[in-house]
Structure 1
Amino acid sequence: MKIKNKAVYLMSIISLLGGLTGCGNNKSDGVEVIFWHTFGKTIITELESHISEFEDYIQQTEGKKVKVTLKYQGGYDDILRKVRDGFSVGTTPTMAIAYPDHVAEYMQAEKTPGQFVVNLDNYMNDPEYGFGTEEKMGDTAGKDDIVADFLAEGQQYKNSGTYSLPLMKSTEIMFYNKTLVQKVFSYYNPSILGDQIDEFMSTMTWSQFMDICKVAVEHKSDISPTLEEPFRYDSDSNFFITQLSQSGYNFLSTDESGNPVLAFDSAEAKEVVRGLKANYDEGLFTTKGVEGTYGSDAFTKGECIFTVGSSGGAGYNFPTGDSFEVGIAKVPAISNEKAKYITQGPTVTLLRNSKLSDEKNDEAVKYGWRFLKYLLTPNVNVSICINSEGYIPVRESCYKTEDYNTFLDSGIELSRCASVVINQIDGHYITNPVFKGSATARNEAGGILTQVFLGNKTIDAAFSDAVNQTRLAM
């Protein structure tokens, strides 16, 4: 769905730029901002249009030729490796898509703070180019306009400051087959009918959800001949971290000196896994780590009733030909009063190149920052997110725009997903400190569940191996 006012918005920019042609300083020297990314065709096309707008704006207002070059690098792990390898040989970009864990690794490679990874506080608070200083490009709000938990994610590093900013975000949501759920409820609670089922699904606890899955197992043959397990979970790592956090325990933490602590190495965490293993052995759910395939594959084939996956890839959970109606809800929480969820989605970090002079680095970073800031202006951020695969904007003001509210009111599949994230999850996100090795900790946490579910390792052995592998990476 294209935002209806996008053409009008672009025309206003072009008109503005035309009126400002004589205001620049006619500098003829140029600067290139290289942006490494992981995006597919749809988002690339969207970004390219905003690159043109930004380049024209700088040319018309400053007489400066700025070229923003998008360079696809593969997946997140590919970018991590290429950036890490590029520090010593001077091949790093100005801007890079990253996970916060990756930024922590980049910082670990520095001999002095700021050698490679830019502290964005210096730019966010700049009186000339900080947030809210360039009204002509749509930049009118300060940094407090960024959703608080999204901003905090870029500040969980060993050094004080902000070292990454969100571009667009997603979280985990649950999809359910409404036809099969109605059959399950005819056994679980026949008095709950129609729309009441959807209301129940949006507020039920994890314990109630497991009870529903038990009923589905007991009446499997009556519910559907293709049903295998009631429930599938896409990310074993997220499953572990979410269950641990909702049980009131930290996944990672730091001590008084700021040193990393593997908080998941605890008796309480083992009890959480023991409970999940019991549910798994009852046949209530399975995971991608166990099956090797995403839950959306089984879901669209009618092999499960519920699946949990990223709102950023929500489109994969809707069957072709509308073979059944899909319901959407937040993932059931252990306690609705203490519900918190994983936050995902691309963040951006700015980098200095070891082979460039300080002057060249300063110039590239300045325009890289301003381009990032432009992507975060409300109209542009809304446009990017609406034309993505279910990501949501990162600024509070985005949710007040006419375009985004029109999108939410449209009732299309991705707008329904966004509505659940905004209205049901409502900014309740899990934040963990990041450090060298925290990405490994996340992967190993998922491995604990996978190996325990499969029976390949005891709970104690799985935890011991995960802790040892994480410590090797720290």
Structure 2
Amino acid sequence: MKRLNKKIVLHLTMAFILLMMAACGQANTPQPAVSGKDSKETPKVAAGNEPVKVVWWHAMSGTNGKAVDQLVSDFNSSQNKIQVEAIYQGSYDDSLKKLKASMDSKNGPSIAQVYEIGSRFMIDSKAITPMQKFIDLEKYDLSQLEENILGYYTIDGKLNSMPFNTSNPILYYNKDLFKAAGLDPEKPPVTYEEVSNVCAKLTENAKVPCGFTIRGSYMEQFFANQGAELVNNGNGRKSQATESLLNSEPGLKTLTWWKNMVDTKTAINFGRKPDDTIKAFSAGQIALTIDTTASLRSIVKSTENSFKVGTGFLPKPSDAKEGGIIVGGGSLYIMNNRSEAEQQAAWEFIKFAVTPKQQANWHVSTAYFPITKKAYDEQLLKDNMAKYPQFQTAVDQLHKTKNNLSSQGALIGVFSEARSLTENAIEEALNGKNAPSEALNAAAKEITGKISVYNKTVSK
């Protein structure tokens, strides 16, 4: 009898312990993510009292880094269910290297900022949850965002990442030197031929030439502006690209035009350092150049006591097909090795980041494009546009671009290497080491080889 009582007591004790363990486990189990519309109430991404932590790896330093910190602070103070931590990871290349190293571990971020040319790799990595999943589940309205910016990151009919920091190249010129050369300061050149003529007059009459930086991204833009594709298979968007088209007619026409200006000393070759070109322009040592819209505010500020800055569209050949510019910059990816609750929390933050108010703040702080149309209705942005009217050129150039395979940009997994090889070719041609056709042929062959190796690697 005593033995029986002991067994009963033992069974009852074990049952009580198991019951308590189950209750504790249930209390700590995250509940399914729920999405909503009010950022102060909707991040119902987990049960319990602790907020869901979202780690964001980014490549923004200096003033842009401060703007990132402000965005995160604004979001964290707007609600209490999610806590975002932004961590600077170095340059775009450095950040992507660290991201690649983290993909097989749990030590990586919830959100990663990746430059636009990393798009093919990010898809092939299978390490992301496409933004389209959250968009479809919530029926999120994409029409509020800029179509020509979404176009770059929409691949195979779905948006893989959310555009974040976006820019494009424009023409900058010195209005005072235009007047001195007998040129109309309100009429920037729009074709290759006009740029050549303008630079010749500036050099002869104003004694100041033009000047350009060697950047692989500029060649990509010159292709798109001619309605041309940089790689085959629809710029790598219809199917995986297998061949570089760098040595096709648009590339040869561009490099021949560029080299002719350098040979005639109507344009200075500044090599690969954009800062050197900007400094020369700001000092009045060159009268016309090309740079990204992200540099606009700093250029205008540095010259406000010296001369008036004019802006114009990126030039193209007079007989070019209809084209447009490609957006540059970076976008935000949600990594799929995080919990559903964490991924949903990341989506809530990304939605906050693209609201009109936040996009207006972001634009004014960084000079990157607002990706949300209604951001232009915010008074803060209106005041900034009044202060820097030159930015209207960039907005007009973006809106006049036709969203097609050329302007959406090429997709290859070895884009960083391709840009470097393109710059080598441009440099060889401008320095007279190789004819433009030979330099481009060699670069295209090498880029095609690297594409082939990459494609074999991802197909395994």
Q: TM-score range by the shorter chain?
A: 0.7 to 0.9
Residue 342 of structure 2 corresponds to 364
Match of 2:202 among 216, 231, 240: 216
Pairing partner for 1:247 from 208, 219, 226: 226
1:160 to partner: Cα distance? 5.1
Count of matched residue pairs: 404
What is the CA deviation profile of residues 206-229 of structure 1, one whole-angstrom value per residue up to 9, with x for unaligned ones? 31221111122334xxx24xx3xx
Contact 1:31–1:363 (CA<8 Å) still a contact in 2? yes
Q: Is residue 181 of structure 2 the alignment partner of residue 184 of structure 1?
A: yes
Deviations 1:156-210 (A, max 9, x none): 3xx652212211321112222222111111xx6xxxxxxxx23322x64331221
CA distance in 2, matches of 1:347, 1:382: 17
CA distance in 2 between partners of 1:123 and 1:208 (Å): 47
Q: Which residue of 2 aligns with 1:109?
A: 125
Given that 1:100 and 1:434 are in contact with CA atoms closer than 8 Å, whether structure 2 keeps it comes out as no
* Aligned-partner Cα distance in 1 for 2:113–2:277: 26
Match of 1:172 in 2: 169
Change (3 A) 1:168 1:24: closer
Query: Structure 2: 5+ residue runs without aligned partners?
Result: 1-37, 455-460
C-alpha contact (below 8 Å) 1:168/1:392 kept by paired residues: yes
> Any residues of structure 2 matched to 1:223-302 within 5 Å, and which?
223-224=206-207, 227=208, 230-254=209-233, 258-260=239-241, 261-267=243-249, 269-289=251-271, 294-302=276-284
Q: Distance in 1 between matches of 2:261 and 2:120?
A: 35
1:454 has 2:431 as partner: yes
1: CA distance between counterparts of 2:409 and 2:190? 26
Query: 2:27 maps to what in 1?
Result: none
Cα deviations by residue, 1:419-448 (Å, 9 ceiling, x for unpaired)? 221235535272223131233323322332
Q: Is the 8 A contact 1:311 1:417 kept in 2?
A: no
Structure 1 residue 45: Cα displacement: 3.4
Distance 1:282 1:391, change over 3 A: same
Deviation at 1:342, TM superposition (A): 3.4
- State the SS of the aligned residue for 2:171: strand
- TM-score, structure 2 length as denominator? 0.79
Distance 1:371 1:205, change over 3 A: same
Give the TM-score normalised by the residue count of structure 1.
0.77
Kept in 1: contact 2:213–2:269 (CA 8 A): yes
Q: Distance in 2 between matches of 1:17 and 1:436?
A: 36
Distance between the aligned counterparts of 1:337 and 1:396, measured in 2? Answer: 28
Show the counterpart of 1:428.
401
Map of 2:308 onto structure 1: 325
Task: Decide whether aligned partners of structure 1 residues 25 and 239 sit closer, same or farther in structure 2, where only a CA change above 3 A counts.
Answer: closer
- Specify the alignment match of 1:43 in structure 2: 64
Residue in 1 that maps onto 2:14? none
Q: Return the letter of the residue paired with 2:145.
A: I
Question: Equivalent residue for 1:376?
Answer: 354
User: What pairs with 1:391-430 in structure 2 (closer than 5 Å)?
Assistant: 391-409=368-386, 412=387, 415-428=388-401, 430=407
Deviations 1:275-315 (A, max 9, x none): 33223211222344367753111112221111211110223
Shift of 1:33: 0.8
The 8 Å contact of residues 166 and 348 in structure 1, kept in 2 or not, is answered as: yes
The alpha carbon displacement at 1:368 in A equals: 0.8
* Residue pair 1:96, 1:348 contacting (<8 A) in 2 also: yes
Which of 32, 39, 57 does residue 53 from structure 2 map onto?
Answer: 32
- Please tell me whether Structure 1 or Structure 2 has the larger radius of gyration of its CA atoms: 2
Query: Is the 2:213–2:274 contact (alpha carbons within 8 Å) kept by the matching residues of 1?
Result: no
Question: Shift in Å at residue 367 of structure 1?
Answer: 0.8
Specify the SS of the correspondent of 2:71: helix
Shift of 1:331: 2.9
Task: Return closer, same or farther for 1:406/1:347 CA change in 2, 3 Å cut-off.
Answer: same
Cα 1:373–1:292, aligned 2, differ >3 Å: closer, same or farther? Answer: closer
Query: SS in structure 1 opposite 2:168?
Result: strand
Residues 1:71 and 1:291: Cα distance change in structure 2 (over 3 Å): closer
Contact 2:165 2:331 in 1 (8 A): yes
Preserved CA contact (<8 Å) 1:155 1:162: yes
Identity %: 17
Tell me the residue number matched to 2:148: 149
- List runs of 5+ in structure 1 lacking aligned partners: 1-15, 111-115, 132-141, 189-196, 354-359
Amino acid corresponding to residue 279 of structure 1 in structure 2 = M
Partner residue of 1:69? 85
AA aligned opposite 1:217: T
Question: Measured at CA, do residues 237 and 305 of structure 1 come closer, stay the same or move farther in structure 2, by a change above 3 Å?
Answer: same
Aligned-residue offset at 1:270: 2.6
Q: Is the contact between residue 243 and residue 272 of structure 1 (CA under 8 Å) also seen in structure 2?
A: yes
Change (3 A) 1:433 1:307: closer
Relative distance call for 1:122 and 1:463 in structure 2 (3 A) is: same
